[in-house]
Structure 1
Amino acid sequence: MNYKELLKYEKSFDPKDWDEMEDLAHKMVKDMFALLKDIRNQPVWTQPTDDSKGAILGEALPIEPKNLNKVYQDIKENLTPYYKGNIHPKFWSWVQGTGTVSSILSEILVAGLNPDVCTGDHGAMYIEKQVIDWLKKMMGFPNNASGILVSGTSTANLTALLIARDKATNQVVRKQGMLEYNSRLIIYTSTEAHSCVIKAADIMGLGINSVTLVDTTSEFQIDVQKLEQAIIEDRKKGNVPFCIVANVGTVNTGAIDPLDEISKICKREGLWMHVDGAFGAFAKFAPSHKKMLKSMNAADSLAFDTHKWMSLPFGTGCLLVKNKHHHRNAFAIQPDYLQVHARGLASGPDPIFNYSIEMTRGFRALKIWMMLKEQGLNKIGEIVQQNIAQSYYLGELVDDEELLELVTPVTMNIVCFRFVPQEKMSEEGLNKLNREIVVELQEFGCAVTSHVYIENKYCIRIANVNHRTVKEDFEDLVKDVIRIGNTTKNIFK
């Protein structure tokens, strides 16, 4: 191969016609803004057609370049019409943020600047640091605490448990592995906890059976007496309890574990207290729940997602750790090629990779930084309180309808209810009927809810973190549930 000949025709991924690309960029932003402005008039969810799925899955690997305008046309035909639904005011399935206009703009800037923020002396590093400082202040953590932005609370929980493990074992497991640590390490959480805690134990090599799932009370909070008894029994067996994961906003019902009591147990037993506050941590900014969550900052670590109740795009979870030394000790590795210099690009703040699983990471903080500057913490708290008030309102609407049953009390932003016709039906029939209601709500584009089993009852579950929702949307939901229930009930008798 003649390298000199090849270098006569050097290429780049940059466009040949920058003006054409700029026009396309304007069109894409304009189209997205138009979709969002009119989103209330669109179906909540539209299932991808066989043609659209075939167009995506059946396309051959691209070998030669294609004009980006034509690529965008493919997107308009096969992606945009089939959005998941969480940008819509009537999406209440799972706990997924709605997105904001400023975050669209931030993503453009992030992609354009494209910084790796794990190390270096550049502007993005300082915005990351500022955002962590703001989040610490928001959540009541001390100034000298540490924090890290991660993909989501699943990763944040894993990160926290690694830190707790290393503290409990004095880094023996980190350095030598589990074979050198002769005792079994135990994590405690409630039966209502997110499955990512079990997955974390698996990833860490502890085994999923090292997570003790403690029964809950009638309010779906961890039973503190049973928790204490489980710790006693494990110590008798020679096991080593090392962490309690408290829940602030459980997936099924939005329950909040008794943080004061858990904190006392952790201090008495020498255990790490971690709080999974994926969405519920933000309830501390609502006056109705501020007092209930005043002890959240007693935790050694706190995980939460800004892509839930702050409505940001996915990939913006956070972990805060009270003891920066323990945090850094769990991850810091300093190879020669990553040594920090006193001057130049390799200088700057303590590298983020010293606090994280990741060695290279994109610029997650800008969307949070822009959101906080644009909206302010008070506005965020108002939206959180609004969603909670709307959920209580839905609970009242359900209570007022003789064909609907509120299965659990509304305690925050999650409502679990079901359709119960006047005609007598078996529990199996009721479960099938309510499952059909959930599916038909989705398929007809009326609303997107999720489901949960509560004491073997299949429930329609509403998880409201939607800043576009208004109370009339829940009035429509109640009418749609009753309408679908009445038209389909005879199938399941």
Structure 2
Amino acid sequence: MDNHTMERLGYDRLELGSERRRLLTQKVTDFIEEHLQKVEKKETACFNINDDRASGLLNFSISEEPKDIGAFYLGPGAARLEQLLISWVAGLFNFPAGFAGNLTSGGSTATVLSFLTARQSKQLKARDFERTVIYLTDALHVCAYKALNVIGLGEAILRKVPMDKKFRMVPEELRKIVKRDKEAGLLPAIVAASVGTTNFGSVDPIDEIADVAEEFNLWLHVDAAYGGFFVLVDEMKYHFKGVHRADSIIVDPHKSLFMPLGLGVVVVKDGYKLHNANILTVEASYLRDVDMFQDEKSPKNFSFELSKHFRGVRVWLPLQLYGIKPFRECLKEKVELARYFTSRLGEIPGFVVDNYPQLTVVTFHYETGNDDTNERVNQHLLERILQDGSVYISSTTIGGKFRLRICVLHFRSHKDTIDFLLSFLTKAAVSLSSGMIKKLHWRKCKV
């Protein structure tokens, strides 16, 4: 975030509240500045975003002095700070005026708020749930299913929209399915798309999906929990075409903004809908004082939480200390590293890349020519890598087939990390080609 943007949003005028908190913030700042002097300038762009311990120390200070900001009057400065952060996030995606949002514990809670708002906006009643239709793909994060259960839509009809070869929702297929459902007398309600799926890092064509959503009056939800902050990288902005047309979007600063765990953001385009879905509908006399400041936004009115942790400061402080440039450069590096890994892996005999990274996720496997042997060999590779402990990768399945997976997103992952993994895989390929496959097959037969 450059100085002009900081000034425009009012960061220079924000205060943390009590004198004790201001003094503590100054101490944290002094500590960070002293720490940074010990690090070479060339490292600061990517290495020290989290290594500065700024958010960690402030997390500790907040735990020592808990702050409930559910109601504006309990923490005016903190509540305003969170509104500034929500405005900043909404601005990244060019949301029009009238939006509202909330800082949550993560993408799961943010998704619950999004779907709850959609349900209320569509005026869906319990009697409608069995006829209500939700549209998604197999690549959508599992938190969407949990959110639907939480808000009572576990009995809704789930339509799996086909994906293309790049694991992206096909808008024309969506249109056909929705049209058929309407003709059958069902209630098409929500379409959930992704900017950065967990399995593949794939990005759905949001603008085209938005066309279908508008045509059939669907609530368009965008899960950008992982991929959202790649919007900061100029060469990645094309992935976000049409995102401003979404009814709701979620992003996780604790993922692609490298912040501490426990930070999610939900933004709803028509902010009054988020407010209406969460406002108290019964009078509670013991909360009379809470709404003294009617012209100010209380976070509790945009969430099901009444008591609310002061989460915003964990994002605010690093942005204050460094601005947005280091975060942007770090994201650019991760994109380049994923592409570098993909290119180099193709040079190692036996290995096959299953998807070119749209963001920073790459799935791959060692190909033996036999599906059963493939699974045993690749599981063995995963076990060896994890036992070594120098790098971490995970596994998944594509079409029921076992695959290896990396997601280059940790702030300490650099070229040497990728080179180590490539070296490990190169040595593994030599071992496999020299007879290990036969040994694994023999062990399986013996068992």
TM-score, length-scaled by structure 2: 0.82
Following TM superposition, by how much is the alpha carbon of 1:210 offset from its aligned partner in structure 2, in angstroms? 2.2
Distance in 1, matches of 2:82 and 2:295, equals 12
* C-alpha contact 2:133 2:158 (8 A) present in aligned 1: yes
Q: Which ranges in structure 1 are unaligned for 5 or more consecutive residues?
A: 1-25, 38-88, 90-96
Pick the aligned partner of 1:492 from 406, 429, 440.
440
Deviation by residue 1:28-83 (Cα, 9 ceiling, x = unmatched): x99xx9xxx9xxxxxxxxxxxxxxxxxxxxxxxxxxxxxxxxxxxxxxxxxxxxxx
| 1:106 is aligned to 2:58 | yes
- Say if 1:477 and 1:114 are closer, same or farther in 2 by CA, change over 3 A: same
Q: Secondary structure at the match of 2:403?
A: strand
Following TM superposition, by how much is the alpha carbon of 1:182 offset from its aligned partner in structure 2, in angstroms? 7.3
Distance in 1, matches of 2:288 and 2:91, equals 30
Pick the aligned partner of 1:372 from 313, 319, 322.
319
Pick the aligned partner of 1:361 from 302, 308, 312.
308
Letter in 2 for 1:455: G
Q: Which moved more, 1:268-277 or 1:399-408?
A: 399-408
* C-alpha contact 2:130 2:156 (8 A) present in aligned 1: no
* C-alpha contact 1:100 1:311 (8 A) present in aligned 2: no
Corresponding residue for residue 337 of structure 1: 286
* C-alpha contact 1:440 1:484 (8 A) present in aligned 2: no
Q: Which ranges in structure 2 are unaligned for 5 or more consecutive residues?
A: 1-27, 40-46, 442-447
- Say if 1:100 and 1:317 are closer, same or farther in 2 by CA, change over 3 A: farther
Distance in 1, matches of 2:252 and 2:141, equals 14
Letter in 2 for 1:303: I
Q: Secondary structure at the match of 2:364?
A: strand
Following TM superposition, by how much is the alpha carbon of 1:340 offset from its aligned partner in structure 2, in angstroms? 4.3
Following TM superposition, by how much is the alpha carbon of 1:208 offset from its aligned partner in structure 2, in angstroms? 5.3
Q: Secondary structure at the match of 1:197?
A: helix
Q: CA RMSD in A?
A: 2.7
Residues 383-402 of structure 1 aligned to structure 2 (within 5 Å): 383-402=330-349
Following TM superposition, by how much is the alpha carbon of 1:209 offset from its aligned partner in structure 2, in angstroms? 5.1
* C-alpha contact 2:92 2:231 (8 A) present in aligned 1: no
Following TM superposition, by how much is the alpha carbon of 1:242 offset from its aligned partner in structure 2, in angstroms? 1.2
Q: Which moved more, 1:302-311 or 1:200-209?
A: 200-209
Following TM superposition, by how much is the alpha carbon of 1:335 offset from its aligned partner in structure 2, in angstroms? 2.2
| 1:237 is aligned to 2:189 | no
Pick the aligned partner of 1:442 from 386, 391, 399.
386
* C-alpha contact 1:414 1:461 (8 A) present in aligned 2: yes
* C-alpha contact 1:221 1:256 (8 A) present in aligned 2: yes
Corresponding residue for residue 117 of structure 1: 69
Corresponding residue for residue 216 of structure 2: 269
Distance in 2, matches of 1:202 and 1:99, equals 38
* C-alpha contact 1:316 1:364 (8 A) present in aligned 2: yes
Corresponding residue for residue 427 of structure 1: 371
Letter in 2 for 1:337: Y
Q: Secondary structure at the match of 1:230?
A: helix
| 1:151 is aligned to 2:151 | no
Deviation by residue 1:85-118 (Cα, 9 ceiling, x = unmatched): xxxx9xxxxxxx9776211122022113310111
Corresponding residue for residue 131 of structure 1: 85
| 1:468 is aligned to 2:412 | yes
Following TM superposition, by how much is the alpha carbon of 1:425 offset from its aligned partner in structure 2, in angstroms? 5.2
Q: Secondary structure at the match of 1:308?
A: helix
Corresponding residue for residue 192 of structure 1: 139
TM-score, length-scaled by structure 1: 0.74
Q: Which moved more, 1:97-106 or 1:359-368?
A: 97-106
Letter in 1 for 2:88: W
Letter in 1 for 2:287: L
Q: Secondary structure at the match of 1:284?
A: helix
Following TM superposition, by how much is the alpha carbon of 1:264 offset from its aligned partner in structure 2, in angstroms? 0.8
Corresponding residue for residue 254 of structure 2: 307
